[in-house]
Chain A
Amino acid sequence: MTTMISYVFLQHYWWMIISLLAGLLVFLMFVQGGQSMIFSLPGNETQKRMLVNAMGRKWEFTFTTLVTFGGAFFASFPLFYATSFGGAYWVWIAILFSFIIQAIAYEYRSKPANVYGQKTFDIFLLINGTLGPFLIGTAVATFFTGSDFNLDIMNSVKWGTGWHGLEALLDPRNTALGLAVLFLARTNGLLYLLNTIDDDDLSSRSVKKLMVNAVCFLVFFLFFLVTLILSSGLTITSGAPGILVDHYKYLHNFLQMPAVLIIFLAGVIFVLTGIGITVFKGSRKGIWYAGAGTVITVFALFLVAGFNNSTFYPSVSDFRSSLTIYNASSSYFTLKTMMYVSFIIPFVIAYIWYAWKAINKRKITSGEMNEEGDLY
């Protein structure tokens, strides 16, 4: 077995797993997208409760995927974990803060004696719903645009600015991806609501909002995409000097990896199809197209960041400190051991699907909000 599986294969395999988790995470952030409209979408309290209960029954999935994404990154590319989390401190802390307040907001918002009142917890949901996707999108954009850091001989990270990650907000490419992820999450949130809730008024409000959010998503996403393919990036070479600047690195990555380009385009088409059949044909199944498209598109974008001798976490101040799937990965033994563990993922997806279907087989109605049961 040892001879059959190479170290390079395992490094690529684990980057694909990370990419898949990233895709699933962005899709599952429809929960955040829904939360971000907690005050603006519903027309009355019952509708607000329906929205909260629709999203609230899925929040653990997003949360767990984020935790697993972090854990998998730690296990497979620990140098990224050390460099980015230890360096871009404030961005990650802000993301964490927004997720702490989400976890308890659902459970506590409608409970008696919750001390701070329902509105406070609803504001927590709004903050997480807005800041979570935006900051995660901004942080991921630095996988392409780079950060100001260097690593010493023992791989200890020194961040170049005292802002510790917040400086990423000053680059319009980063904020564009952050906003694209936010509006995609809102778009998917609306599509999910249309699929889950049986309420005519809330549905028509969702469709109206869907068009605005979809257009915003497309504008920011296209801006990011165009700047990306026009951007220079770093490429690893086998001999000296080791790392070179490639002026159209990501355009080259798309062209040199046609399979990834096809996956990427397919993903975009799926997202547009999901939006299109909802807006123009009144379908309620748009979330499945847009959701699948989101997973595929993000998956392909991550492959563009990490494959084809790219630096998936470039340093703008010291090219040699840039992280690649080769220099940032765990050892051969760990990646191989972890690969065996990863074989359980299809089984995990299968039981998630089964449980999801079981809970979602009955649509949420305004009547249910007054029935016996646990409600948020």
Chain B
Amino acid sequence: MIEHLDMSLVDWSRAQFALTAIYHWIFVPLTLGLSFLIAIMETIYVRTGNEEWKRMTRFWMTLFGINFAIGIATGIILEFEFGTNWSNYSWFVGDIFGAPLAIEGILAFFLESTFVAVMFFGWNKVSKKFHLTSTWLVAVGANLSALWILVANAWMQNPVGMTFNPDTARNEMVSFWAVLFNPVAVDKFLHAIFSGFLLASIFVLGISAWFLLKKREGWMAKRSILIAAIFGLISSLTVAFTGDNSAKTIASVQPVKFAAMEAHYYGSENVGLTAFGVLKKSDQKIGEKAIMDFAFRIKIPGFLSIMTGGDVNTYVPGIKDLVYGEDDSRQILSVADKIRKGIFARNVLNDYKRALMVNDTEQIRVIKKQYFQDKKFMEENFRYFGYAFLMKPEDAVPNVSLSFYSFHLMVMLGFFFILVCSVSMFLVLKGSISKHRWFLWIALLSIPLAYIASEAGWVLAEAGRQPWIIQDLMPVTRAVSQISASSVMTTFILFAVLFTALLIAEVSIMLRQIKTGPKHQEDKL
């Protein structure tokens, strides 16, 4: 099957999914964080009865609504694209992956959609407390929906809690809790939602800074800055902490991705962490891919070893070691060996399916007992099933430059945001933030940087996982739906045009609402 694969189909399908995911993630993090910020503001309004807080809540709520709608629109595409463009994947893992998606709908989406109507239209229809409860429930619902999709995504990075069923030729769930508490899922969920909180905080900080620069809405802007700075600082520190945990987990379950993040090719002990670096192509190659070297690098000595194993003597394997294997003491299996094991597993499965087709009961019994019920075969061979579809060992390496830059950009900006939130909090508490116009400009210009950091995180997560759609079990080439590349190219263009047109409208509306500000808006209403 793989021999007849149209690579342009795979590329267009990947491009379409990437396009949808990137657009979707422009809107989601703001929803995740702004929903809580709004809830906090409304809580203060209900507790104090001060109408200024209500005005402030409604201003941010308007921006939330503009963003929320387009987030929903792009979200539905993602869900259905698993089926339309990755149908083989949908069957292979639907037994596990589908459950979190369904739970997301039942538990989270209905909570969100039910109470968002009350939040927007219920100001004069329900009591203050019911309205406030609705606002909090929207925040909970939005973040709960993030939990389930991130659980599903984490499973793709680190498939756990399942067994392969040769009769159905798919993976089947055996432990819901193992899927839910997958270490990747825990890290990913916390890292992703807190990064959303951080982005929303930077958004509120930046827009409030703009009001102060324009000498408008001072009361609202300063209070918004205070709330966003505290919320943002807590979130940014949590993002740093969960990011560190996440890196450790990646080192353990996706070592090639981890090595690519650091452009680390040659394994050793006492490996330094690159704080900043510029890559260049070297003369050496892995297969047909040039090995990337550093044109410039600032390194923290020994820190990568400490990060992964707790001390400088920890050995961190490089990309080359992971592709070609290491000596016996390291026990790193080469990709070539994994391909052999994968092909063996695939052949056994093919034999089994053929026996099923002709109803050869004896052969079915023998293969099942000898292989699929044999723990050794499953652990030593079948876990490398996906490698059977790789053409050559070097295919197991993701795009190193993309992984490296997206990771370092995200980390650098993350530390920058800790600084922005800290300084904002300090200046607003000191009562002098309006005087520091240079800082207000920095806060305003931080808004696009927050989006860049957020997207960079997902580029790393998804591009760094390549060539796998499910780590070690299924490459993207095997997962794609059998439709013509031209069909997918057409829908890619349609989606690209539509999403871009909608984004333009969204930004335009958002800017007008911000310029109008809360006071004018209230007068108009």
Contacts and interface: CB of A to CB of B under 8 A. Distances in A.
Contact of B66 (A108, A155, A337, A338): A108
Interface in A33-70: 57-58, 60-61, 63-64, 66-68, 70
A15 to B, nearest CB: 14
A84 B513 CA distance: 42
B249 to A, nearest CB: 25
B76 A338 contact: no
A83 interface: yes
B65 interface: yes
B82 interface: yes
Interface size for chain A: under 10, 10 to 19, 20 to 34, or 35 or more residues? 35 or more
Contact of A345 (B95, B99, B106, B174): B106
B165 interface: yes
A78 B91 contact: yes
Contacts of B65: 107, 374
Contacts of B347: none
Contacts of B481: 85-87, 89, 157
B498 A372 contact: no
B90 A81 contact: yes
Contact of B87 (A82, A96, A108, A153): A82
A374 B508 contact: no
B482 A159 contact: yes
Given A86-B481, A92-B84, A337-B173, A331 B95 contact: yes
A68 B516 CA distance: 37
Interface stretch (A193-201, A244-252, A350-358): A350-358
B412 interface: no
Specify the main secondary structure of chain B where it touches its partner.
helix
A348 B90 contact: no
A359 to B, nearest CB: 6
Tell which of B77, B102, B169, B170 has the most Cβ of chain A within 10 Å.
Answer: B102
Contacts of A159: 482-483
Interface in B110-142: 110-118, 120-126, 130, 134
A74 B94 CA distance: 6
Contacts of A83: 87
Contact of B69 (A90, A106, A153, A155): A106
B353 A67 contact: no
Tell which of B77, B87, B350 has the most Cβ of chain A within 10 Å.
Answer: B87
B91 A103 contact: no
Interface stretch (A112-120, A182-190, A260-268, A297-305): A112-120
Contacts of A113: 508-509, 511-512
B76 A156 contact: no
A78 B173 contact: no
A361 B107 CA distance: 26
Nearest to A14: B102
A75 B99 contact: yes
Given A67-B105, A334-B172, A114 B505 contact: yes
Nearest to B110: A348
A356 B86 CA distance: 37
A112 B487 contact: no
A140 interface: no
Contacts of B124: 371-373
B385 to A, nearest CB: 12
Contacts of B94: 74-75, 78-79, 81-82, 330
B69 A108 contact: yes
B357 interface: yes
Contact of B90 (A78, A108, A116): A78
A351 B96 CA distance: 28
B82 to A, nearest CB: 7
B104 interface: yes
A334 B516 CA distance: 51
Interface in A104-143: 104, 106-108, 111-116
B80 A96 contact: yes
Contacts of B69: 103-104, 106-108
Given A79-B94, A157-B481, A115 B110 contact: no
B378 interface: no
A79 B122 CA distance: 42
Given A74-B94, A81-B83, A108-B66, A373 B123 contact: yes
17 contacts: A60-B116, A70-B101, A71-B103, A75-B103, A76-B102, A111-B513, A113-B509, A114-B509, A115-B509, A153-B353, A156-B1, A330-B172, A337-B176, A341-B102, A352-B110, A372-B124, A372-B525
Would you list the 9 A-B pairs with minimal beta carbon distance, nearest first?
A: A78-B94, A86-B87, A85-B83, A68-B105, A75-B98, A60-B113, A103-B73, A113-B512, A74-B98
Interface of B: 1, 62, 65-66, 68-70, 72-77, 79-80, 82-88, 90-91, 94-99, 101-107, 109-118, 120-126, 130, 134, 165, 168-170, 172-174, 176, 350, 353-354, 357, 481-484, 487, 491, 494, 498, 501-502, 504-506, 508-509, 511-513, 516, 525
